[in-house]
């Protein structure tokens, strides 16, 4: 059921985006800087393209900025998880070393079962 809902949502999204693209085919000129500042700096860069391409590019840029923002925001959580994983590996190594030293390499349950068999 969820699979059909997902495909239905994607089909609806495709229809909306195609309709948006067909309705906004007029060319627009995008300028890097305002006219006076571009003349002053010698950077009169501009590009002419259909409006829907600039709309889709801005949507993609917004999504990219959101992903990067979240990646930086969650850095402290990833760092803490890595620290805890390192601590768990260190504790396991120490436990394994103690078990080897004391001769208790077996699991405690298996050791109890062996004790019962020996009795």
Mean pLDDT, all residues of the chain = 88
Contact 61, 55 (CB under 8 A): no
Digit-coded pLDDT (tens) for 65-74: 999 999 999 9
- Per-residue confidence (pLDDT) for residue 107, from 0 to 100: 65
- Per-residue confidence (pLDDT) for residue 32, from 0 to 100: 84
For residue 87, what are the CA distances in angstroms to 13, 83, 106?
46, 6, 23
- Per-residue confidence (pLDDT) for residue 119, from 0 to 100: 62
The angle, 0 to 180 degrees and rounded to 10, between the axes of the packed helices 51-73 and 75-102 is: 40
Residues (pLDDT < 50) of the chain are none
Q: Burial of 29 by CB count in 10 Å (0-12 exposed, 13-18 middle, 19+ buried)?
A: exposed
- Per-residue confidence (pLDDT) for residue 42, from 0 to 100: 84
- Per-residue confidence (pLDDT) for residue 37, from 0 to 100: 86
């Amino acid at each position: 059921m969820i699979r059909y809902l997902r495909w239905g949502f994607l089909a609806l999204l495709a229809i909306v985006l195609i309709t948006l693209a067909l309705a906004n085919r007029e060319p627009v000129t995008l300028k890097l800087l305002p006219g006076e500042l571009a003349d002053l700096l010698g950077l009169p860069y501009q590009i002419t393209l259909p409006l829907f391409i600039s709309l889709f590019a801005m949507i993609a840029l917004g999504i990219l900025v959101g992903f990067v923002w979240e990646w930086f925001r969650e850095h402290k959580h990833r760092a803490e998880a890595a620290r805890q994983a390192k601590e768990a590996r260190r504790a396991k190594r120490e436990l394994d070393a103690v078990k080897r030293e004391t001769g208790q390499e077996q699991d405690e349950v298996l050791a109890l079962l062996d004790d019962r068999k020996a009795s």
